[in-house]
Amino acid sequence: MNWDVIKGDWKNFSGKAKEKWGKLTDDDLKVIDGKRDQLVGKIQQLYGHTADKIESEIDEFCATHHVDK
């Protein structure tokens, strides 16, 4: 599975992402609409972490949910 698969199943993935990063709103996730760079930017804005840290968190999240980046 790759990020294109996540984009195709964004509704399911976004629900899991909202559980992981609770500050994400439904509106945020609608705007992001499966775009990884926008997801990274929004999480970075909300949590104040570096982009590299967020990328690592997303990679780990995908791995634990059996989703490849």
Mapped to the 3 state alphabet, what secondary structure does 20-46 carry? Answer: HCCCCCHHHHHHHCCCHHHHHHHHHHH
pLDDT digits 0-9 by tens, 1-45:
478 888 888 999 999 999 999 999 999 999 999 999 999 999 999
Report the amino acid identity of residue 8. G
Q: Do 51 and 58 contact (CB within 8 A), yes or no?
A: no
pLDDT digits 0-9 by tens, 43-69:
999 999 999 999 999 999 988 876 655
Closest CA to 39 of 65, 8, 17, 11: 17
Report pTM: 0.88
Number of neighbours of residue 28 by Cβ within 10 angstroms: 19
- CATH architecture group of domain 3-64: Orthogonal Bundle (1.10)
